[in-house]
Amino acid sequence: MLKNLSSGTKISITRSIKTSFEQYMASIQWQENKYDIQDFIAAWRTYINENASWYKNLSDETKNNVEFHQELAVKINETIAKILSEEPSEKQVEKLELLQGKSGTEYDYSCKLEAKYLIEILEGKKKHDLHTKD
């Protein structure tokens, strides 16, 4: 069912998963022990209902189809796995080393999106308190 959607819609679905995952992880300050898939799904549902034109354009039949939701669950898991496996870029690593040296901090990070979050925090673009990760 998901495969029958237009390529633009499939790209938009992936983008909405990535965007809402990034927002959710920032809301829990990338503390993996606070991650809850049900909380993320709730955040994603809110995001698609408020911000995703692709969801508004789906028929009610599709929105209520069990197979569609099963395929979406697989797509969510695949997208999150891809995000978490994407290594930080060399530029991000260098920037984080510089920023952490200046601030006297040392944070662990494991993926490109988490590195982006930490850079934004350390540059003062985000107003979250950072917690040391064990």
- Per residue in 108-118, pLDDT tens? 999 999 999 99
Interval 121-134 mean pLDDT: 64
The reply to whether 79 and 94 lie within a common domain is no
For residue 133, the model assigns a pLDDT of 43
The reply to whether 10 and 61 lie within a common domain is yes
Please tell me whether residue 42 adopts helix, strand or coil conformation: helix
Torsion of Cα atoms, 121 then 12 then 46 then 62, to 10°? -160
The reply to whether 72 and 18 lie within a common domain is yes
The reply to whether 75 and 115 lie within a common domain is no
Amino acid, res. 85: S
The reply to whether 63 and 129 lie within a common domain is no
HSE-CB at 34 with a 13 A cutoff on CA atoms is 11
- Final residue before a domain boundary, out of 47, 67, 85: 85
Question: Which residues constitute the domain of residue 126?
Answer: 87-134
The pLDDT tens digits of the residues spanning 16-44 come to 999 999 999 999 999 999 999 999 999 99
The total of structural domains in the chain comes to 2
Calculate Rg over the CA atoms of the chain.
17
The pLDDT tens digits of the residues spanning 65-80 come to 999 999 999 999 999 9
What is the value of pTM for the model shown?
0.87
Residue 3: pLDDT band (50, 70, 90) is confident
The reply to whether 56 and 71 lie within a common domain is yes
Residue 48 exposed, middle or buried by CB count within 10 Å (0-12, 13-18, 19+): buried
For residue 124, the model assigns a pLDDT of 87
The reply to whether 60 and 26 lie within a common domain is yes
